Structure 1
Amino acid sequence: MALTVQQIRKDVADVLGEDPADIPDDENLADYGLDSMRLMSLVERWRRDHGADISFVDLAERPAIEAWTPLLGAQE
């Protein structure tokens, strides 16, 4: 199953303990508390649940949903 932007936002909010509506697409997620452990859990979740071919480094370089969308092949 392909990832969607909504699913990415929901998963990020889940690991951060936030409401998905409070997670902006263009903000640096490190400013919202996304640390390396939480990011690794997202990478593993998306690999397992969606077959994402993504690495921790790819996502860590630009920790924003809008940057991750094309890397993850997410649909709008």
Structure 2
Amino acid sequence: MTTTDRTGPLTLERMRADVAKLVGEAPEDVGDDDNLMDLGLDSMRVLGLVMAWGEHGIALEFSHLAEHTTLAGWWQVVQGLQRDTPA
């Protein structure tokens, strides 16, 4: 489903690339404040991203991302979870 690199922390660039791949866009065409649902991301694809990104060792859940519709919002969630996850 995604080509997430599972080594090291999840990055905004990795998230952008994974989202772009799922919606058939180039990563540079997915802006931080774009509504991801308007780009074509649906709940099943979001669930796939949650599962793939969770393999980075963070306790990411679908509900965390469902509260936000932008990459910037998702990144804030991920940063908070990464801070709360012991190294």
TM-score by length of 1: 0.87
Partner SS for 2:37: helix
Indicate if the aligned counterparts of 1:53 and 1:72 stay in contact, CA closer than 8 A: no
Is the radius of gyration larger for structure 1 or structure 2? 2
Identity %: 42
User: Mind listing any 5+ residue stretches in structure 2 that lack a counterpart?
Assistant: 1-7, 81-87
Query: In the TM superposition, what is the alpha-carbon distance from 1:52 to its structure 2 partner?
Result: 2.3
Q: Which amino acid aligns with 1:24?
A: G
Q: How many equivalent pairs are there? A: 73
Report whether the alignment pairs 1:27 with 2:31. no
> 2:65 maps to which residue?
59
Is the helix fraction higher in 1 or 2? Answer: 1
Distance change (3 Å), C-alpha of 1:72 and 1:32? same
CA distance in 1, matches of 2:40, 2:34: 12
Structure 1 stretch displaced more, 10-19 or 37-46: 10-19
Which aligned segments of 4 or more residues in structure 1 are displaced greater than 4 angstroms?
A: none
CA distance in 1, matches of 2:70, 2:21: 15
Query: In the TM superposition, what is the alpha-carbon distance from 1:67 to its structure 2 partner?
Result: 0.5
Q: Which amino acid aligns with 1:60?
A: A
Query: Highest relative contact order (Cα 8 Å, sep 6+), 1 or 2?
Result: 1
